[in-house]
Amino acid sequence: MKFNYRAQGTIEYLIIIAIVVVIALVVVSILTGFLSTGSETDSQSKQISALVGEFSVSELAVTTDGNFVLNIKNNDSTVTITDVELIDKNNQDFTYSLPQSGSQNFVVYSNETCEEGDKQSATIKISYMTKHGLNKTYWLQDIPFDCVNYSVTNTANSSTTTISTGETLVLSDTDCFDDALVGGKHPICTCLDLDNIDKNTTTITWDFVQLYDIDFAECDSSYTTGVGWEPLADATNYYRGNFDGNNKIIKNLFINDLTQTYAGLFENIQNAQLDDITLIDVNVIGNQYVGGIVGSNLDSNITNSDVNGVIFGASSYVGGITGRNYRGKIIDCNNYAQITGLGYVGGITGANLRENYHTSYPPALIQNTYNFGQIESTANYAGGITGYNKNSDINNTHNFGDINSSSNYVGGISGATTIEANFYDILGIYFSSNTGDINCFGYCGGIDGYFTQGILLNSYNTGDINARWDNVGGIVGGELLSSLIANTYNTGDVYSSSTSNGRIAGLAAVSNGGTVYNSYNTGKITGESSGGLIGWQRATSCITKNNFSIGEVWGTSYQAGLFGNSSISGDYNNNYWYNANTIDNATICNYGTVQGNCEVDSIDVFYSTTHDVYDTNEPHWDFGVDGNWQACPSGLPILAWQPTSDCA
């Protein structure tokens, strides 16, 4: 690029003048403490010290013709400048490839004139393509300039010319996708950096670390209008790297596409690791497999991550963290978002599962997680933590959100749990609690709505349950089929408006070969076939022992202090009921044959750990240092893992 100016006089004269000018400039520099090494425009042009990974914008000036001139130097392998845009002024497009270590002047015509010495400012957007074929943008925001007295004759295809050096403007970096690795991971600084993750099959496997908070509302408007964010990865190209959110925030994630299957920040991940991601004020609307962080998780780990906002799925598999957790692990995560879906809806994930034939794979796991968001569902399977749990584990999870479903299989932790033969007696729900209220149709439980062949241990429910049909329990609704419940308690009221086959109970609605021991109920039980412990104990192989209930029981047909509609056989000893509570036309202990003396005259007897219910039959309740229960000074016992402040 050439700069033309008018020269007067002989060559000798010009040399003398030049010597005088140089001496004058040196004197001025000494007096002002500022050293300049350029031409006559030194104090009127700007040098920009802004390293942008692939290139640096070294200098910028504005001419008396009103044209802005940038000098761009390449710092890496070939990059292609695709556009230099002067915001709110006329613009000039380029497609110019900078070789490694090369530099080039670029002119942006503004068609505005200015007098020498006038002040100007500009915001300039530089668009370029990296060596990996990724489109990126760099911004120079509101940079002030002086007018300089020379004109520009060529554009980007001219020879390299240095404008000058002068005052240094230190600019903050923006996009950093291709910058130097940070701890072995590629840095993420902006929305565009996030968007570039899945632009090709190479980057979709990279490890990344987020360096700064990112707000989509402050990025290109396409991210927060129309259909919004296009989730990373897709149905065939899963993300398979390690993404470290670094406890930075991603705010205003926006997806508005009812046709989008696999919706979230990521569509699909496989054999990936996602850590320390925080999503604030998300607004995600998709079709199926919809989550805040991931649409579907396959064989991957998601840890220490939070989601806040609103998530909606027009179909099934909708969750706060991921729509589906298939053989994956979700650990130390929290959901604060409101979750709405058709079926398979959960605060953490819509479904937590592994198929029976995948015995060589570890089970899916949800551990150390909390849900605070409200759950809304219009089809089967909804839960505070997961809508459905199959052949997998749920450990140390807690739901505080209310759950509203117009259908069946609804639970404070899981809507339903199915453990198949290969995993029987080893998988289930442990050390969990629900405090949210549940409104449902049928098959509803304070912990689980339908529990088959699993283990449910050391958990409690305090939320009230309001159903319109049958099979409702304070701990488990539906059918307790060949399963174990132990060391649990319910304090929530359990109600069903059904007038036929209610099967409503403080612990389990129906026991079909199930085992229930070392548990109690204090909630009020109301329904057609009601029991303080079991609504209907229907199989000879049932075992129910070392339990007690002090809750009221109301019914219209079969109801009792302990067992409702029950053809009791098997082992059901050492169960007790406080008989001072109102009971509507109910037998004192069980609807069938009364076995043993199950009445007590005072609740206080259960405050003492020496009562027969605690230590007469094995297994004892175990109040030891490493036991399952802890005694309260003047109240009923609580679980050993609870804080002592939970004592009544």
pLDDT attached to residue 46: 33
pLDDT at res. 43 = 25
The one-letter amino acid code at 2 reads K
pLDDT at 279: 98
96-114 burial, b at 16+ Cβ within 10 Å, e below that, comes to bebeeeebbbbbbbbeeeb
Residue 492: the pLDDT is: 98
Mean pLDDT of 530-554: 87
- Averaged confidence pLDDT in the chain: 80
* pLDDT computed for residue 73 by the predictor: 62
In whole angstroms, what is the distance from residue 376 CA to residue 379 CA? Answer: 10
**Contact yes or no for 29/176 (Cβ under 8 A):** no
Q: At residue 285, what is the residue type?
A: I
Residue 111 has pLDDT above 60, yes or no: no
Split at pLDDT 50, 70, 90, the class of 587 is low
Asked whether the predicted pLDDT for residue 32 surpasses 50, the reply is no
160 pLDDT higher than 60: no
pLDDT greater than 60 at residue 28: no
DSSP conformational letter for 185: B
Give per-residue pLDDT as tens, 363-390: 999 999 999 999 999 999 999 999 999 9
Residue 95's pLDDT is 47
Q: What is the pLDDT of residue 6?
A: 29
> Is the pLDDT assigned to residue 172 strictly greater than 80?
no
Q: Binning pLDDT at 50, 70 and 90, where does residue 154 land?
A: very low
pLDDT at 592 over 50: no
Task: Give the residue with greater pLDDT, 174 vs 208.
Answer: 208
Percent pLDDT > 90 in the chain is 52
Interacting residues of 268 by C-beta distance below 8 A, sequence separation 6+: 233, 234, 235, 238, 239, 262, 294, 295, 296, 298
pLDDT tens per residue, range 269-321: 999 999 999 999 999 999 999 999 999 999 999 999 999 999 999 999 999 99
Confidence grade of residue 35 (pLDDT, cut at 50, 70, 90): very low
Going by pLDDT thresholds of 50, 70 and 90, the confidence category of residue 151 is: very low
Question: Which band of pLDDT confidence, cut at 50, 70 and 90, is reported for residue 119?
Answer: low
**How far is residue 539's CA from residue 571's CA, in Å, rounded to a whole number?**
11
- In one letter, which amino acid is 620? H
User: Range with the lowest mean pLDDT among 264-278, 298-312, 518-532, 551-565?
Assistant: 551-565
| Average pLDDT for 65-86 | 61
What's CA 241's distance to the chain center, in Å? 17
Q: Is a pLDDT exceeding 60 seen at residue 60?
A: no
d(CA 613, CA 334): 37
Structural element, H or E, at residue 366: strand 365-371
> pTM for the complete prediction?
0.76
How far, in Å, CA of 437 to CA of 68, rounded?
Answer: 64
Average pLDDT, integer, range 618-622: 93
Name the helix (H) or strand (E) containing 612.
helix 612-615
Question: What confidence category does residue 19 fall into, taking pLDDT thresholds of 50, 70 and 90?
Answer: very low
CA distances from 434 to 236, 310, 609 (A): 37, 21, 25
pLDDT confidence of residue 25? 41
* Domain locations in the chain as residue ranges: 42-170, 464-648
The answer on pLDDT for 584 being more than 70 is no
Q: Say if residue 437's pLDDT is above 60.
A: yes
DSSP 521-550: E-S-EEEEEEESSEEEE--TT-EEEEEEE-
Whole-number pLDDT of residue 491 = 98
What is the per-residue pLDDT for 17? 38
Q: What is the pLDDT of residue 294?
A: 98
- What is the pLDDT averaged over residues 563-569? 66
| Whether pLDDT at 535 is above 70 | yes
pLDDT at 189 > cutoff 70 = yes
Q: How many CA atoms lie within 13 A of 25 on its CB side?
A: 16
Q: What is the mean pLDDT of residues 619-637?
A: 93
When pLDDT is averaged across residues 410-437 and rounded to a whole number, the result is 93
Supply the pLDDT for residue 595.
46
pLDDT, residue 467, reads 97
Q: In the numeric block, which tokens belong to residue 627?
A: 């036991």
Euclidean distance between CA atoms 348 and 398, whole angstroms = 10
pLDDT of residue 126: 72
Q: What average pLDDT does the segment 414-436 reach?
A: 92
- For the chain, report the end-to-end CA distance as a whole number of angstroms: 83
Tokens 């033969």, residue located: 421
42-170 classified as CATH 2.60.40: yes
- pLDDT of residue 125 exceeding 60, the answer is yes
Q: Examine the pLDDT at 231 and tell me if it is beyond 90.
A: yes
Distance separating alpha carbons of residues 214 and 189, to the nearest angstrom: 7
Predicted pLDDT at 602: 84
Sign of the C-alpha dihedral, residues 255, 259, 263, 267?
negative
